[in-house]
Amino acid sequence: MSKLGNLGARLHRGEVGYDFVGNRKIWYGVSILITITAVLGLAVRGLNMGIEFQGGAVFTTPKTSASVAQGESFAQDASGHTAVVQKLGNGGLRIQIAGIDTGKSDQIKEELAKDLSLPSDKINADLVGPSWGEQIANKAWEGLAIFMVLVVIYLAIAFEWRMAVAALVALVHDITITTGIYALVGFEVTPGTVIGLLTILGYSLYDTVVVFDSLKEQTKDITKQTRWTYSDVANRSINSTLMRSINTTVVALLPVAGLLFIGGGVLGAGMLNDISLSLFVGLAAGAYSSIFIATPLVADLKEREPQMKALRKRVLAKRAQGPAQDEPLAAAAADAHGDDSEDVAAAAVVGPRNQPASRGRGRGRPSGKRR
C-alpha cells in the first residue's frame, strides 16, 4: 500500500506518467470495438423491458410447495407468455407476466390457483396498464435528454465548448455500453435500471470534470511558453488525477459488486440485479471514458486551433535544437523520433522530470544571504 501511495504522489508531481494522449488511437479503437458489440447486442437481442414499461400483471402467492421452475411453467401455460418468477422469503412466489391483456388477469389468476392448489382469493394481483408503462418510458427518455442538454450548457459555460463536446461523447459512450451489456446479459430493465443509468452518468461526469478542471488551470498561459504543447499538459492533467480516479472508482465499485455478485448471484435476490448491473458497468465505463476518451478528445480538438498549431511548431523547434538543462527527456525523444510530433510531445511528459534548482538557496550562511 505504501508503494501505491508513493506512486500516486509521483504521478501527481509529474515524476512518472503514462502517455494516455499519445496512445489515444488505441483507446479510440478499443472503445469503438466495445460500442459496436453493444449496438449489435441491442439490435439482435434487444432489451428485456420490465412490466413497468410493457404493462402486465404481478401475482403474489402465499406459502406454497411449488418451485420457481414449476411456477414459471404454470404461469406460461395460463397466460401464453414467458413469466419471471421469484421465491419470496415467506415461501410464496412472485409471478410477473409482462405484455398480457390486463382484462384476462382474473382468468390467469384462477388457472394459477388451480395449478398451485391455492384459493384464488389468497393470490394478490397487481395490474400495470400498457399506457402507464409507455408514459414511464417517455418520461425516462425526456429526463435523459434534459440531463444531456444541461450538461452541455454547463460545461460550455464553465469550461469551453470542446470540453462540452468531449464530455457528451463520453456520456453517450457510457450509456451505449451499459445498455448493450443489458441486452447481452438479458437482465430485466426496470425503473431501478433508469435510476442506475442516471446515477452513473453523474458519476462519469464528475470524474471527467475533475480532469477538465486541472487541465483548465494548467493551460491558462500555455501560449506564453515553448516547453509544453497542449497535448503534453493534457497528459499531465490525466496523470496528476489518475490515482484519485482509480481510488474513487474502486471504492464505488466494491459495494456495487457486493450487491450484484453476492446479493443477486449467491443469495438469489434477483431484484437487486436491475440496478446493481447498471451501476457496476456504468461506473467502470465512466472511469474508462473520463481517462481514455474525454481528455484525449479535448486535446485532439484543441490541437486543431491555429494558436495551438503555432505553439506545437515552436515547442518542437526548440526541442530540435538540442537537450536543454531541464528537458533531457524531450531532447532524447526528439533525437530518437525525428519529426514525429506525437512521439516527441509524449516524451515531454512521460517519465521523470528534473526540477530546477532553487535560486534563493543560501551559500555559506544559515540565513541564506550571500556574502
**For the segment 238-282, what is each residue's pLDDT rounded down to a tens digit?**
888 888 888 888 888 888 888 777 765 555 555 567 778 888 888
Q: What is the pLDDT of residues 37-69, one digit of tens each?
A: 999 988 988 888 877 777 788 888 888 888 888
* Better pLDDT: 96 or 132: 96
Instruction: Looking at the structure, give the CATH architecture of the domain made up of residues 56-128.
Output: 2-Layer Sandwich (3.30)
Residue 54 is predicted with a pLDDT of 76
pLDDT at 332 over 60: no
pTM: 0.70
The matching CATH number, chosen from 3.30.70.3420, 1.10.150.20, 2.40.128.50, 1.20.1640.10, for 2-48+132-306 is 1.20.1640.10
Query: CATH 1.20.1640.10 occupies which residues in the chain?
Result: 2-48+132-306
Query: Residue 313 — very low, low, confident or very high, per pLDDT cuts 50/70/90?
Result: very high
The HSE-up count of residue 130 (CA atoms within 13 Å, CB side) is 8
pLDDT for the residue numbered 368: 45
Q: Where in the chain is the domain with CATH 3.30.70.240?
A: 56-128
